[in-house]
Amino acid sequence: MADQDDQPSSDRWTISATRTIFTNPVVNLVTSRVRCGRTAIEKDFYKFQFPRWVNIIALTGRQELILIRQYRFGTDRIELEIPGGAVNDGEDPLAAGLRELLEETGYAGQNGRIIGKVCPNPAIQNNFCYTVLVEDVRQVAEPSQDDMEDIEVLILPQDEVQKLVVDGSISHGLVLNALMFFAMDKAKNRFGRP
């Protein structure tokens, strides 16, 4: 898994002696010797290499949002989220968003576009997460979930989703970030500015 959306690092930092410590289909863990140009001190740094991710804001013709509930091993609980998943190698993030929406929910729509991009944790991760907005979604197929997915699809009014954010029912940081991008996109379209 290569670094995503590489930008040159500062010439004040030197990276050497990189090696992979652990690898599996979900994540690689690498370590590198890093030298700070300001202090000349060297230390080992660790980085989790993930594929790019995508989250989907799916909006029905009635302006309702598609949410999902699914078990998450990290928190050992059922989480309320929006559809999302990994971007395959060589896949465009927009295409990945449309694919994940269809796979997880059976929904498809129109006017798909990327409305945001973030680095989930730049201190220790290399990847980016994209937010895709898809409008006028409707169910066109049955979901085709992975063998370890058990997803419940929900359709909720936007004001109810806002309440779920405020009361903590939606606590996934990247989902909250996607909802922020959606709110900013709505404001921009309504008022012509963010």
Q: What does the pLDDT look like over 54-84, one tens digit per residue?
A: 999 999 999 999 999 999 999 999 999 999 9
28 and 97 inside one domain = no
Q: What CATH number should be reported for the domain holding residue 74?
A: 3.90.79.10
Q: Is residue 178 part of a domain?
A: yes
Q: What is the mean pLDDT of the chain?
A: 94
Query: Do residues 167 and 74 share a domain?
Result: yes
For the chain, what is the domain count? 2
* Dist. CA 90–CA 122, nearest whole Å: 22
Q: Is there a single domain that holds both residue 79 and residue 129?
A: yes
**78 lies in the same domain as 106:** yes
Q: Scanning the structure block, which residue is given the tokens 């001190």?
A: 41
Which residues contact residue 178 at a Cβ distance below 8 angstroms, ignoring those fewer than 6 apart? 55, 56, 57, 82, 84, 116, 131
State which residues form the domain around 26.
13-49
| 126-142: average pLDDT | 98
If asked whether residues 119 and 28 sit together in one domain, one would say no
Question: Which residues lie across from 36 on neighbouring strands?
Answer: 13
According to the model, what pLDDT value does residue 192 have? 64
Residues 39 and 119 in one domain: no
In a domain, 8, yes or no: no
Distance CA 97, CA 54 (A): 6
Same domain, 35 and 63: no
Is the overall model pTM greater than 0.85, yes or no?
yes
